[in-house]
């Protein structure tokens, strides 16, 4: 006899996948550095990023439900093959460039827990991620794994938060906007790592993979909102833990894993294990998720298919996984040149993805009654303005 799952559990999926693939080693490292350097003073940025991400994932969900074809198909037909290919290649470049950090993060977490070589685990988790592609319904497997990894992150980081015992008054003061001297670049990095229009763009594909139609519109919007709220909760917990422990103890960090190692002398081995389990979940979920985005969007941009059950799509996903793992093994991390390349691509692609989402969300030929109202465009346009400002700032920082 089959046991029926509650409807809310059955409807989980796209939003949680989006949250899990955004919250990776990069987000963890930025949050750790912010907390260690500035305590709780930049917590106010997170609610703003939550509002912007909810706006864009909701638009993307609308688009996925309204389109009969895929977003890339629509861009190719409406704006030309060149636009679709350029966007697909850009998204592949961003996800591929950061993939090495995901691979090394997953390997490092288990290396610290077991006292073994990081490289062994990098290879193991790359092969594990590739093996998942051989399941008949890759989306269903992806969905279950992401839900499990998000739950792992929530439990692990919440336990770490309880152990850190932050000062409640100082924590609440962190939601009063301020910009401490020297925090500008890390604040920009927090915005960039939390407000991912590339991940939002892929939300349209996820609701299509889920098999939802226009009748599932309220469910899709609610689910996308809940996923982003979880993303904000995870980001906030890391900043709070780092602020309560690292800043208080005046411990300098270079990576998120340093926070896990700093816990042991203060709270014992259990605290380090709890954090590292969450660190692994964040890294492995991003390893699978980033590869899925990059590979799937590249395949669709070239007209090779959009479904995760398509072997051409799976082959592209395998390529991204292997690329990231190879870089991690060769360099032991993410090389500086690759970081600069990824930043340069993000400057171009993040605003471009936002523009295409806005164009499709306001296209009367595809949206029908789900078209955005004038009022509904305000927050997305504010988000686009922020992305363009950051693009100008980054261009000045990188090239001048």
Dist. CA 54–CA 228, nearest whole Å: 6
Please state the separation of Cα 327 from the chain's center in Å: 20
* Residue 1 maps to a domain: no
What sign has the CA pseudo-torsion 195, 99, 24, 29? negative
We report the CATH number of the domain holding residue 101 as: 1.20.1740.10
Q: What is the pLDDT of residue 2?
A: 42
* Residue 175 maps to a domain: yes
Please state the separation of Cα 70 from the chain's center in Å: 21
Q: What is the pLDDT of residue 234?
A: 92
* Residue 326 maps to a domain: yes
* Residue 273 maps to a domain: yes
Q: Which residue has the tokens 């995870």?
A: 234
Q: Over the stretch 345-385, which tens digit does the pLDDT of each residue have?
A: 777 788 999 999 999 988 877 776 656 677 778 999 999 99
Question: Could you tell me the residue range of the domain that residue 140 belongs to?
Answer: 7-399
Stated pTM of the model: 0.88
* Residue 2 maps to a domain: no
Q: What is the pLDDT of residue 340?
A: 61
CA angle 358, 346, 292 (to 5 degrees): 80
* Residue 42 maps to a domain: yes
Q: What is the pLDDT of residue 4?
A: 44
**What total number of domains does the chain contain?**
1
Low-confidence ranges of the chain (pLDDT < 50): 1-6, 9
């Amino acid at each position: 006899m089959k046991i029926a799952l509650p409807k809310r559990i059955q409807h989980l999926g796209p939003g949680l996948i989006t949250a899990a693939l955004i919250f990776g080693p990069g987000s963890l490292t930025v949050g750790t550095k912010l907390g260690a350097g500035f305590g709780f003073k930049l917590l106010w940025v997170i609610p703003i990023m939550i509002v912007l991400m909810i706006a864009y994932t909701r638009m993307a969900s609308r688009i996925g439900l309204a389109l009969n074809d895929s977003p890339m198909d629509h861009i190719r037909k409406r704006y030309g093959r060149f636009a679709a290919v350029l966007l697909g290649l850009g998204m592949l470049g961003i996800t591929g460039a950061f993939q090495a950090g995901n691979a090394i993060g997953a390997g490092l977490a288990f290396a610290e827990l077991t006292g073994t070589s990081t490289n062994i685990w990098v290879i193991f988790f790359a092969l594990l991620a590739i093996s998942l592609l051989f399941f008949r319904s890759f989306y269903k497997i992806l969905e279950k794994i992401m839900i499990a990894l998000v739950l792992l992150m929530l439990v692990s980081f919440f336990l770490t938060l309880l152990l850190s015992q932050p000062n409640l008054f100082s924590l609440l003061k962190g939601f009063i906007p301020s910009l401490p001297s020297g925090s500008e670049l890390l604040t920009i990095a927090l915005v960039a790592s939390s407000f991912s229009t590339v991940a939002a763009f892929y939300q349209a594909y996820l609701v299509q993979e889920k098999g939802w139609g226009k009748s599932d519109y309220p469910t899709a919007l609610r689910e996308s909102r809940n996923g982003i709220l979880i993303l904000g909760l995870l980001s906030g917990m890391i900043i709070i833990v780092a602020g309560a422990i690292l800043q208080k103890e005046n411990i300098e960090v270079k990576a998120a894993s340093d926070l896990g190692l700093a816990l042991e002398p203060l709270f014992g081995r259990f605290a380090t294990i709890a954090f590292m389990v969450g660190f692994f979940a964040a890294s492995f979920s991003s390893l699978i998720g980033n590869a899925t985005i990059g590979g799937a969007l590249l395949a669709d941009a070239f007209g090779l298919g959009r479904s995760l059950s398509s072997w051409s799509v799976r082959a592209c996903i395998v390529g991204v996984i292997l690329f990231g793992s190879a870089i991690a093994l060769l360099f032991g991390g993410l090389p500086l040149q690759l970081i600069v390349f990824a930043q340069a691509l993000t400057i171009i692609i993040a605003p471009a993805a936002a523009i295409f989402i806005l164009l499709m969300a306001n296209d009367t030929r595809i949206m029908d009654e789900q078209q955005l109202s004038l009022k509904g465009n305000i927050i997305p346009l504010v988000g686009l303005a922020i992305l363009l400002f950051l693009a100008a700032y980054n261009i000045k920082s990188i090239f001048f």
